[in-house]
Amino acid sequence: MKRRLLLSTFACLIFVHVLLGFRFWSMRAASPTDDETGYAQMSVLARAIQLIRQDYVDSKKTSYHDLIYAAMKGMLASLDPHSQFMDPDDFKEMQDDTRSRFNGLGIEVSVKSGLLTVITPMEDTPAAKAGILSGDQIVRINGNSTEKMELQDAVNVLRGVPGQKVALTIMRPATKEIKEYALDRAEVKVQSVKGAKLLDPEFAGAYKIGYVRLIQFNEPTADELDKALDELQKQGMQALVLDLRNNPGGLLNSAVDVCAQFLPANTTVVSTQGRVPSQQTDYATSAVAKQRPRFPMAVLVNEGSASGAEIVAGALKDLHRAVIVGETTFGKGSVQNVMQLPDGSALRFTTAKYYTPSKQVIQANGIAPNIRAPMTAEQERALFAARSSDNLKPGDEKELIKTKDPQMLRAIDALKGVMIYAQESAPKVDAVKR
């Protein structure tokens, strides 16, 4: 009896504390109703916690820490697939991710149409080497169904100590195949800029066409790209293929800084719109951005291009800076703010949507290519598995492009066409001196 009285008293104290907090907030508002302040709903929550604490059969599961964390996980998960509650360990892992390192399989996942879906397998990771593709649906993890699994719980299982195995059951929507994978977790160090080079003359012909691939957008991406472009320009680059296929995005500021490599200073590349004025923002290239020649550009995208990759592709398309080649992108165009809580945990929740310069919404729509060039699942698997191989030779790469990469070939043809047209349209200079 004493225990119940103490529990009731403690629960009431919690509620009074919360109530006073809301009272303080409500003094700043203009006479809000009870429904607006949430007084009645907070009392229901306090009562629920009290009842669970005093009567639930397993006392090991009824700590205030566990109950409150579970409530916040459910609350955030109910909003949309991209909002989530992160405990201190999850929050630290997210910070490590933006710094280009984490332990896991190398799969970027999201919930699409209620199913745990692979946005993209990252290059040089166990997932990419095994042949997992964008759009694959993860049906089971270690034999456990993902049907009712929260996104963060799935991420926590996929990541972990390097060397440990994870069993995945994958359903491939394009072919309806069910595939089983047994993958070893590894330390994933993502090099955000890869493959910078001039394309072989067999493809580029008389022109010097550069190529560079962006794996994701993290802190060093813009600086790495800047150095790669400088080197390509020293080699006489006349045009560029920017490969954003299977790029899951990353940091917004990094994506904007990448756009600054190709667009004039103070150019708006993306805007956000939310409920409050602070979420209505235009993001523009730096006023001191390096100016480069306006060489012809083609951007490669596919279903695995998401978030920051869609921002870059959308901006370069809308501002007529590049031709977009490939397939419609993933359609992940919402803004998540991350707010750390006093105990080291954090809330990540959607506050706005991204809009391209022409005010097209990215969320659920994606960026449609100017030149549609689909690839088969077999072509994708061969291409991205080969990229993750440590044994790919220059001759093998040439054969791979010719037989497995129609998107690259279409991009090269488009650039060559632009340069041929520019040459034929240039004013003729009379070489005879008068």
pLDDT of residue 290: 86
- Record the pTM: 0.79
pLDDT category of residue 239 using cuts at 50, 70 and 90: very high
Could you say which of 129, 317, 332, 404 is catalytic? 332
Q: 109-125: per-residue pLDDT in tens?
A: 988 888 999 988 888 78
Give yes or no for a contact between 255 and 308, defined as CB atoms under 8 angstroms apart.
yes
For the 193-344+351-424 domain, the top CATH level (class) is alpha beta
pLDDT of residue 6: 40
Going from N- to C-terminal start, the domains of the chain cover 2-60, 88-189, 193-344+351-424
pLDDT category of residue 151 using cuts at 50, 70 and 90: confident
Rounded to an integer, what distance in angstroms lies between the CA atom of residue 25 and that of residue 87? 26
pLDDT of residue 19: 38
Could you say which of 80, 96, 153, 318 is catalytic? 318
pLDDT category of residue 103 using cuts at 50, 70 and 90: confident
**Third-level CATH fold of 88-189:** Pdz3 Domain (2.30.42)
Residue 271: φ, ψ to 5°: -135, 160
102 vs 408, more confident: 408
Structure tokens that stand for 167 in this block: 């069993």
Q: What's the mean pLDDT in 211-237?
A: 96
Residue type for 37, please? Answer: T
Is 243 a known active-site residue? no
Give yes or no for a contact between 195 and 212, defined as CB atoms under 8 angstroms apart.
yes
150 vs 52, more confident: 52
Is 2 a known active-site residue? no
Could you say which of 307, 334, 404, 416 is catalytic? 307
325-351 burial string, b = 16+ CB within 10 Å, else e? bbbbbbbbbbbbeeeeeeeebbbbbbb
Question: Residue 47 CB: number of other CB atoms within 10 A?
Answer: 14
Do the domains at 88-189 and 193-344+351-424 have one common CATH topology?
A: no
Is 318 a known active-site residue? yes
Rounded to an integer, what distance in angstroms lies between the CA atom of residue 36 and that of residue 299? 48
Among 251-255, 388-392, 395-399, the range with the most confident prediction by mean pLDDT is: 251-255
What are the angstrom distances between the C-alpha of 60 and each of 39, 51, 52, 56, 298?
29, 15, 12, 10, 58
